[in-house]
Amino acid sequence: MAEVPNSGVDADGVVLYWRPLCTYCMKLRFRLLFSGLRVTRVNIWRDPDAAAFVRSVANGFETVPTVTVEGRPMVNPSMRQLREAVRQYAPQALRGR
């Protein structure tokens, strides 16, 4: 997974918005390591635009993990939901699968 500083909110593919010390983020990041998905990570504590984007899709809260798949936001998705969205909207993010 690539860490992208100051990435903005319009990245293509799969983007994981996270913050340090978030146990839900840690769980999802760990699962993503073994998923075979190409994911760009964005730390919302280092990217104010990303934090604003997360608030805009999470009813004003900085709820993480928030994931976008080809720009479609998902707040705290399960791996199952994430895989389904990737298959539908971003199959190019699947590494050889």
CATH topology of domain 2-76: Glutaredoxin (3.40.30)
Instruction: Using a cut of 0.95, tell me whether the model's pTM lies above it.
Output: no
Cβ atoms < 10 Å from Cβ of 68: 25
By CB atoms closer than 10 A (0-12, 13-18, 19+), residue 6 is exposed
Structural domain boundaries of the chain? 2-76
Q: What is the pLDDT of residues 14-46, one digit of tens each?
A: 999 999 999 999 999 999 999 889 899 999 999
Residue 58 carries which side chain, given as an amino acid letter?
A
Q: What is the pLDDT of residues 73-89, one digit of tens each?
A: 999 999 999 999 999 99
Q: With DSSP H G I counted as helix, E B as strand and the rest as coil, what are the percentages for the chain, rounded to 5?
A: 35, 25, 40
How far is C-alpha 82 from the chain's CA centre? 9
